[in-house]
Amino acid sequence: MAHHLPDELIAHIFQFLCHEDREEAAVVCKDWFRASLDPALHKHTVITLRASASAGKHLPDLGQRKSPNLVITYVEGSNADFLLKEVGRHLGPHLRSLCLKGCDITPKMFLGMITHCRNLSSLDISCCNSLFMSGTLLQKESDQEVARSAFQKLKKLKLGSIRFLSDALFNKFVATTPHLQDLSLAGCNIAFETDPFRKGGRGEDSVTVLTFSNVLAFISRQAANLRVLDFSLTSITSEALTSLANVKNLCLEQLVLLRCTNLTDEGIISITRMQPTMKELTVVSCRSVGIPAIKAVTSKLVSLEKLVLNKLESIPQDTFELMTTNLSKLKHLSLANNLNLKGSQMLKGLQGATFSHLRSLNLQGCPQVDDDVITCICDAAPDLEVLNLSSSLAITDLSIQRISAQLHHLRRLNLSWCKRISDFGILGLEKDCPAISAPDEASKHSSDRYTRTHSNMGFFRPPKFEEVILTISEEDMQEFLRSTTRVGIDAIKTLEELNLSACDHLTDCCIQESISFPRLQVLNLSMCSNITDRSLVSIANKNPYLRTLNVSKCHQVTDVGVCTVACGSSRLSSLSIPQCPITVKSLEIMGEHCRHLKFLDLSQCSVPMAAVDKLRDRLPSLQTVVTSYLDGDISTLYQPEFF
């Protein structure tokens, strides 16, 4: 009876399926296939296309999907003009977002394509230098009319890293975008100090350089609409930022400043004073931005929902106290790679604080983040969904146990390069639990485990947890785990992404017992040198929604584990197994079972290229195969012309 249901009803049912399951259902019958093409199912679908002759035959079929997002990665061939027109004709009417970043296109190709794109809301032409090189873009009135029709609904425009962008070209282009809200000029050569090389008399547009005064004039004209600006990788000065902040009627919601080396505290302070309703601010690698600017941000921008202050020279001692007091709406906070961020100042601001709205926290590369800080974070922000603690060398198993016990809403957790994490933390065990404690005090000191008395031991070796765990039989360990009360990392039932890369004290024991999540999609165990095929067998059996698995440089993983993953993980789309001792057998099993595989990394594996070619033929879904150092090739990256 299902094939007699209306297409609308079938499409509504399909909304509750993941992408892979919808693909499987779409081939059941023609009615289900038609229902799978409903535009409501493709709101987040992105078509990535290499515009070459071989891609042309796929365009009519792609047009049926009515996907609103298109990314063109490369344009080639003598008939590129015709091909891009065909792309526009088949895909353009439904497009909302178009990305041509880095494509070698001419004005003729560009106009021929956008003629059919009447509903664009986002356009990315960053690094498209050939589009602006001739200086003839939109020179004719007819070309301007085509652009105005295509950009009538355009709200987001990226013009990053275009070397040939001048005042004249910039003005012609933005004149066709009357409703622009988001403008990115990241990486552009903008003259901030002076206005040289004018074409003629005073006030005429420069035809050789893009000046900030010209950009500021445009911002003044569009002040009522503009909400987002990106001046990353430019030489913007504090004077220029102050002028920007003082534009009449400008009400910024987001400002991005990445690696702006000429920017100082004064510019940031002026923004906080004149744009107090800003919701998102990103300041990264601005070496002259220091304590006064950060204090102004955390004190005056009370409407902030996202704050990124990465890789700065210094952070105020009372940063967290000011955040707790003033930034009550903060949802996303990133303080990554701030080497001067003190553990004591974090504790002072976090103890007793409440970040009830915080959903994402990034403390990657902050060396003084320790167990006490993690404890305070778990108490202050129990509703965290994303937590990045990569390279936090001071945290131990105690932190993992706190996270497992208190952060029940986590979706993404990054613990890569946390070298002091062991099986105890993942399993939720105390290090002195009876089942694995040494029988007497003398052997306890020689077991290579951290103890409360390790400081009295004199010279001792770094802990090697696997030496302890392997002294216990598997049956005894499993019996103990079943009988004891513990909270392991598997208590986080909402987890979708887990990164344990380079946590080299982890063994099969914790992977088998605790890596079991009903929603896990991405798992990274690269450089976990102690895991074996037993871990992969358990992963395949206990994580039904796994899509991405990385076990690179896990030298004990063989065909047994890889074949089990290939057979048991039906949704697998990305697999990385560089430097693993696999053979042709693994590729044969992948060809039989991995119908959704799109990415495969086989670098430095002992498999012949002939087997890789055979796998490509058997898996039409395979988009990228990395085969570096395979059959003597130093670097090989296979990508089909259409994917």
Q: Using one digit for the tens of pLDDT, what is the confidence trace for 142-151?
A: 999 999 999 9
Q: Using one digit for the tens of pLDDT, what is the confidence trace for 61-114?
A: 777 778 899 999 888 767 788 888 888 888 889 899 999 999 999 999 999 999
Which of 134-138, 445-449, 500-504 is predicted most confidently?
500-504
| pLDDT for 516 beyond 70 | yes
pLDDT, mean of residues 594-617: 91
Which amino acid is residue 54, in one-letter code? Answer: S
Residue 442: pLDDT band (50, 70, 90) is: very low
| pLDDT for 46 beyond 70 | yes
Judge whether 142 and 115 are in contact, CB under 8 Å: no
| Cβ neighbours of 491 (radius 10 Å) | 17
Helices and strands (H, E) in the chain, number of each type: 26, 23
Residue 355: pLDDT band (50, 70, 90) is: confident
pLDDT, mean of residues 400-404: 95
Q: Using one digit for the tens of pLDDT, what is the confidence trace for 410-439?
A: 999 999 999 999 999 999 987 666 555 444
pLDDT, mean of residues 429-451: 48
Out of 356-370, 394-408, 460-474, 587-601, which region has the weakest mean confidence (pLDDT)?
460-474
DSSP 557-609: --HHHHHHHHHH-TT--EEE-TT----HHHHHHHHHH-TT--EEE-TT-S--H
Instruction: Indicate whether this model's pTM tops 0.85.
Output: yes
Q: What is the distance between the alpha carbons of residues 300 and 327, in angstroms, rounded to a whole number?
A: 9
pLDDT, mean of residues 320-330: 89
For 107-199, list the strands marked E by DSSP. Answer: 122-124, 156-158, 182-184, 190-191
Q: What is the distance between the alpha carbons of residues 249 and 579, in angstroms, rounded to a whole number?
A: 58
- Classify 184 as helix, strand or coil: strand
Place of tokens 């057979």: 567
Which stretch of DSSP H or E encloses residue 476?
A: helix 474-483
pLDDT, mean of residues 199-224: 83
Q: What is the mean pLDDT of the chain?
A: 86
Report the DSSP pairing between strands 599-601 and 624-626. parallel
pLDDT of residue 458: 44
Residue 37: pLDDT band (50, 70, 90) is: confident
pLDDT, mean of residues 451-480: 52
Count, residues in the chain: 643
As a whole number of Å, the end-to-end CA separation of the chain is 35
Q: Report the percent of the chain where pLDDT is more than 90.
A: 62
pLDDT, mean of residues 325-336: 93
Q: Report the percent of the chain where pLDDT is more than 70.
A: 88
Which of 169-178, 340-349, 458-467 is predicted most confidently?
169-178
| pLDDT for 247 beyond 50 | yes
| pLDDT for 505 beyond 70 | yes
| Cβ neighbours of 613 (radius 10 Å) | 11
Three-state SS string over 304-342 comes to: CCEEEEECCCCCCCCHHHHHHHHCCCCCEEECCCCCCCC
